[in-house]
Amino acid sequence: MSYHVDKVSWLHKKAQLKQIRERVFVYELHIPKEVEFDALDAESDHVIICNDDDEPVGTGRLSPDGLISRIAVIQSHRNRDAYTSLLNYLVLLASDKGLDNIYVNCILDEVPNFVENGFLKQGCVFMEAGIPRQKLRCPISAFRTEPFTMLH
């Protein structure tokens, strides 16, 4: 299966983006709706990934500061090709904006894997949705998709 990714407007595709994120984060992972949707949605660049039949199967966002977040892929499409397509597109957007680095808020269990793949710790551990996380930075020039699985 192949995928294609497009940049979309939060204003115009809000219902579709929310539907995917609710399915993955609110219903499947039990993240509170009030945490899942925040003020950054209106400020961020959003992407949607579609399968061969042009059905939306995932989404992600890039905040103005380079934070990649809200990566949501429906379960039947959680595979390396989908994540690689989605993440590479978001990093391309960051590069096109002139950013030198991207950031992720990583759950603590996965930090060593990200650090092993070129990410650097930034700041202190913090809590989000009841989950301890560490902000990580990666120069765009060194970015690889290997450590990613699912990312809130």
Q: Give all domains of the chain, ordered by start, each with its CATH number.
A: 4-142 (3.40.630.30)
Q: How many CB atoms lie within 10 A of CB 30?
A: 9
The answer on pLDDT for 118 being more than 80 is: yes
The answer on pLDDT for 91 being more than 90 is: yes
Read off the pTM: 0.91
Q: What is the mean pLDDT of the chain?
A: 93
Which residue, chain included where needed, has tokens 């957007």?
93
Q: How many CB atoms lie within 10 A of CB 32?
A: 11
What's the confidence (pLDDT) of residue 58?
A: 96
What's the confidence (pLDDT) of residue 34?
A: 87
The answer on pLDDT for 22 being more than 80 is: yes
What Rg value do the Cα atoms of the chain yield, rounded? 14
The answer on pLDDT for 151 being more than 70 is: no
The answer on pLDDT for 150 being more than 60 is: no
The answer on pLDDT for 54 being more than 90 is: yes
The answer on pLDDT for 74 being more than 90 is: yes
**pLDDT-based confidence at 152, cuts 50/70/90?**
very low
